Structure 1
């Protein structure tokens, strides 16, 4: 369940919020005047999300290339090329 806290808690309980972000590896939603304003998360969680987004972007590019009939290489051919490159 998402944690939602008022902005005053961010100011008054920063260390506790930081600890919670690191322990639970979940974002904390901060409200201002009863409306969503910020999301606070640990750097590790942010980097994990960023890595997922990068992967999804690469997968989307690969899918688009496949749909446009871009030239492909089989797994065996690719591995053979890599082995030749690094074993030479």
Structure 2
């Protein structure tokens, strides 16, 4: 993880840009606390595209059925999946 002070964005922009291109997102801090993340357009589009694709797929699936889930059902299923993943990694 690449962490730099936010002043580097102003004072060493070229270095920050190079770090982003070569190593991925750069996490900027202000007064010792996380402030923002800088990433390339390609990295952003990759992340955002994945989310958009998943939402598009969900919309298409929802249009083909009348079955709906409650908030509790959805988050319970997610929690089970996360718990299962944690248990599998412990093995």
Would you call these one fold, judging by a TM-score over 0.5?
yes
Equivalent position SS for 1:51 = helix
Query: Which structure 1 residue ranges, 5 or more long, are not aligned?
Result: 70-88
2:44 paired residue among 43, 46, 56: 46
Q: Matches of 1:34 and 1:63 in 2, distance apart?
A: 45
Give TM-score, length-normalised by structure 1.
Answer: 0.63
Q: CA deviation at 1:42?
A: 0.7
Structure 2 residues not aligned, in runs of 5+ = 68-91
Aligned length: 67
TM-score (norm 2): 0.62
Q: Calculate the aligned-residue CA RMSD, in Å.
A: 1.8
Q: Which runs of 4+ in 1 moved over 3 A?
A: 62-67
Deviation, 1:44, is 1.2
Select the structure of larger CA radius of gyration: 1
